[in-house]
Structure 1
Amino acid sequence: MNAKTASTPQTILIVTGVSGAGKTTVLKALEDLGWEAVDNFPIRLASQLLEIPVTGRQASPDIPIALGFDSRTRGFDAETLIQQIKQLQNQPNLTIRTLFLDCAGVEIERRYAETRRRHPAAPDRPAMDGIAIERALMDPFRQWAETVIDTSKLSAHDLQQAIREQYNNETSPHSVITITSFGYSRGIPHNADLVFDLRFLRNPHWDNILRPLTGLDEGVSHYVEADPAYHAAMEKIRDLLRYLLPLYDAQGKAYVNIAFGCTGGRHRSVHVAEQFGRWLREDGFDPAVNHRNLTSRPIDAIEEPANGANKNSAPQGNDIT
């Protein structure tokens, strides 16, 4: 879609500053928030960029764009670039914002020493010389930018958090959530952040009618939900997730993997994973639900008996599907 025909103004954030102040960290944080981030972009080509049709999974002209540049960008001249940005600001279909990243010279020098990189403005001289040269080049931008962030005392995490607080966009308000059901007999998922053990619930495996079914079947769901501990436990887990998930969002955690486990990964965990998928959607999240061991071949010997049941009364063998 052509930017000139967009129904709402296209948001563009100009991200610049002195080298070593955190421009790359900022652009990555914005990208995680759903922005389209382009580094070392010639500002004079911004109008042409907006003419390019948006494609891909988030094909929307409303996605905000972050354009990063510094003194190394081709054709850099502070006064000329400021005039070019002002011309863009006059276009009614654009909303232009500017962010300048600054940092104390001694801190920039320390960062370059730690990374063993040479300062781009003085590759064959001490870093402080390059810092002084670049600061003079970038000063017009610092004076003109609407927002200045001094990163001297900020860690990369602190800077990311500051960007999330100031530029969070509603195109990606939540972490990407995956709910996985699994069987403990085959190990805990390696990427699980939160693991809930459901082996306190009675086991449908030892019901001869329910054994060949799965947690996706109504009969198994009714059986699991009839356990006296089920409703109170599920409500407590739901309350915990309602509390934790917004905290993960606030910390900018990109992915949250929630795992529900039972012995074989076919009955209790499958039902509960499906149930929490529905509940989280009701709460405004959009989880993906994955059943790791739904089609696995169970081993009868490792299944614990249902409450009060004698597993020896059930047919023996490993041909459980």
Structure 2
Amino acid sequence: METTAAQPRDIEVVLLTGSSGAGRSTAARVMEDLGYYVVDNLPPTMIPEVVRLAAEGSTIERVAIVTDVRSRVFPGGTVTLINMLAERGVRPTIVFLSASEDILVRRFENVRRAHPLQGDGTILDGIAAEREMIEPLRGLADLLVDTSDLSVHDLRRRLEEVFDTPVGRQVRITVQSFGFKYGLPRDADMVFDARYLPNPHWDPDLRPYNGTDAKVSDYVLAQDGASEALDHLDALVDTVIPGYRREGKRYLTIAVGCTGGKHRSVAMARELGSRLAGPDIDVRVVHRDLGRE
């Protein structure tokens, strides 16, 4: 009886990478719960074969690969893995997880574990060595997730928002308001400064309210330069989105900041999110520092 080889199917491949201690294990569990076949702790040279087998005749449609400093013993490490997948026509979505240095130190101390690369040195030595090794991957990432201020549940929600349903060619944009006095968002692709607009904080009638309230929003959006800036931002995103699609990048984070993240940035972020939403663009608006005062 004559048989024919199974035809390869298009499958979704997500590559989870980043700093040790930044939440890769948690991310892997989330992806497994979302229906992904999770591959962890395999030599990079073996992973393309796993992807091939998944694409040929199996019922697996979504694969999440965890790669970390353990791959350093293989020539080229994670970059080699990406190239090997590309040779098979697979363009993985790269998720890069990171956290601030002090947070990483605290996490390793809390679980009383050594950093994989610290050797006879300190945890900080291990973090520095790893950062030098993985930094090139940050520039290749489709989605940057800084977990410094995220709980396990926050990280789960973040990944569920992105991967809970197949996205196809859709681009997902997160517009995030923030306060400069609390620090820049570490995972933003674009940052816009709204501090050039008059601050409602100095108006006693507006101070108790925030940018989600109509009276504050109307005030901010009526200022000279507000609408024009939003027009330019909208046009800029329209310009770069086709390039993002060509490069396979489907996730974009735009941060809009003011002093405290309560009035101007909130109003501008909400309006920008409303303008950017469309049939092929899924927009989520979040307010990082609202209510923090």
TM-score normalised to the size of structure 2?
A: 0.50
3-state SS of paired residue (1:30) = helix
Residue 95 (structure 1) shift: 4.1
Cα distance in 2, alignment partners of residues 13 and 146 from structure 1 = 10
Which residue number in structure 2 is paired with residue 61 of structure 1? 60
In structure 1, the partner of 2:83 is 86
Does the CA-based 8 Å contact 1:34-1:169 persist in structure 2? Answer: no
- The Cα shift of 1:9 comes to 0.9
134, 141, 146: which is aligned to 1:145?
Answer: 141
Check whether the contact 1:27–1:37 (CA below 8 A) recurs between aligned residues.
Answer: yes
- Structure 2 distance, partners of 1:38, 1:163, is 17
**What residue is the counterpart of 1:125 in the other structure?**
121
Does the 8 A contact of 1:100 with 1:142 survive in 2? yes
Q: Is the 8 A contact 1:3 1:51 kept in 2?
A: no
Q: Distance in 2 between matches of 1:4 and 1:18?
A: 38
Give the CA deviation at 1:91: 3.0
For the residue of structure 2 that corresponds to 1:129, the secondary structure is helix
For 1:19 and 1:13, the matched residues in 2 are separated by: 18
CA shift at 1:42, angstroms? Answer: 2.2
Structure 1, residues 63-121: CA drift from partner, whole Å, max 9, x if none? Answer: x00110111236345x55324413422434x3421111111110000001111111111
- 1:164 corresponds to which of 151, 160, 166: 160
The whole-number CA distance in structure 2 between the counterparts of 1:3 and 1:22 is 39
Moved over 6 A (4+): none
Specify the SS of the correspondent of 1:162: helix
Q: Give the letter for the 1:81 counterpart.
A: T
CA distance in structure 1 between the partners assigned to 2:80 and 2:59 by the alignment: 28
Q: Who wins on radius of gyration, i.e. which is larger?
A: 1
**Per-residue CA shift, 1:186-236, capped at 9, x if unaligned?**
xxxxxxxxxxxxxxxxxxxxxxxxxxxxxxxxxxxxxxxxxxxxxxxxxxx
Q: Which runs of 5+ in 2 are unaligned?
A: 167-293
Residue 115 (structure 1) aligned with residue 111 (structure 2) = yes
1:222-301 alignment to 2 at 5 Å?
none
State the secondary structure of the residue aligned to 2:65.
strand
Secondary structure at the counterpart of residue 17 of structure 2 = strand
CA distance in 2, matches of 1:53, 1:81: 20
Matched residue pairs, number? 162
Percent identity (aligned): 31
1:99 equivalent to 2:98? Answer no
Q: Which amino acid aligns with 1:82?
A: V
Aligned partner of residue 71 in structure 2, secondary structure: coil
2:5 and 2:148 map into 1 onto residues whose CA distance is 37
Deviations 1:38-73 (A, max 9, x none): 11222222232134469xxxx6132x0011011123
**Do the aligned partners of residues 127 and 3 (structure 1) sit closer, same or farther apart at CA in structure 2, a change above 3 Å counting?**
farther
- Contact 2:48–2:81, Cα closer than 8 Å, also in 1: no
**Structure 2 residue identity aligned to 1:17:** G
SS at structure 2 position matched to 1:131:
helix
Asked whether the equivalents of residues 95 and 145 of structure 2 are also in contact (C-alpha less than 8 Å), the reply is yes
- Find the aligned partners of 1:124 and 1:36 in 2 and give their Cα distance: 36
Displacement after TM superposition at 1:152 (Å): 0.8
| 2: CA distance, partners of 1:137 / 1:3 | 40
Measured against aligned partners, the alpha-carbon deviations of 1:120-149 in whole angstroms (never above 9, x if no partner) come to: 111432211111111111111112222211
Amino acid at match of 2:26: T
State the SS of the aligned residue for 2:45.
helix
Contact 1:13 1:99 in 2 (8 A): yes
